Amino acid sequence: MTNEILVVGDISPETQAAATGVVKALEKAFNTKDPIALSEQFAQKTSWSNAMGTRLDGREAIAEFSAPAMKGLLRESYARYDIVKLLEIAPDVIAVNVAQTPTDGSGDPVEDTRGAALYVIAKHMDGWKIVAGQNTAIEAPSA
């Protein structure tokens, strides 16, 4: 499934690929339940609010929170992350809107809570990283 991405601003193909790489690495880490790989997509100094409304400040806090969640509450949760919009905020700073679709372990969509995420991704010496983010849970539509 190919989605059209709305690009706002003068975002080079290289920057678009870098932002996409961060989102896809985050998706892979979530789906493989790897809290270290997930946290490595965030800058050392970061602020992230998860879908439950918990704010986590710093890469270590994200890893510490994610490890037990991935072994417990989220162990059977999987998702596909589709970039909806890229917005240039400043040179080397991109806001990324992501639609999160719940899937089964094979990647097939399932009826469950969806997510809408906003990640601010910036270029650092160690690559592109999420510096701020917010996930919002969206209830599955009723039949």
Residue 78 phi/psi, 5-degree rounding, is: -135, 160
**Which pLDDT band holds residue 1 (cuts at 50, 70, 90)?**
very low
The pLDDT tens digits for 22-78 are: 999 999 999 999 999 999 999 999 999 998 899 999 999 999 999 999 999 999 999
Cβ–Cβ < 8 Å for 83, 95: no
pLDDT for position 134: 97
Quickly tell me which residue has 């100094």 as its tokens.
45
Cβ–Cβ < 8 Å for 38, 26: yes
Residue 61 CB coordination number (10 Å): 17
What predicted TM-score, i.e. pTM, was given to this entire model? 0.93
The pLDDT tens digits for 80-133 are: 999 999 999 999 999 999 999 999 999 999 999 999 999 999 999 999 999 999
18 HSE (CA, 13 A, CB side):
19
Sequence-separated (6 or more) residues with CB below 8 Å from residue 80: 27, 100, 101, 103, 107, 109
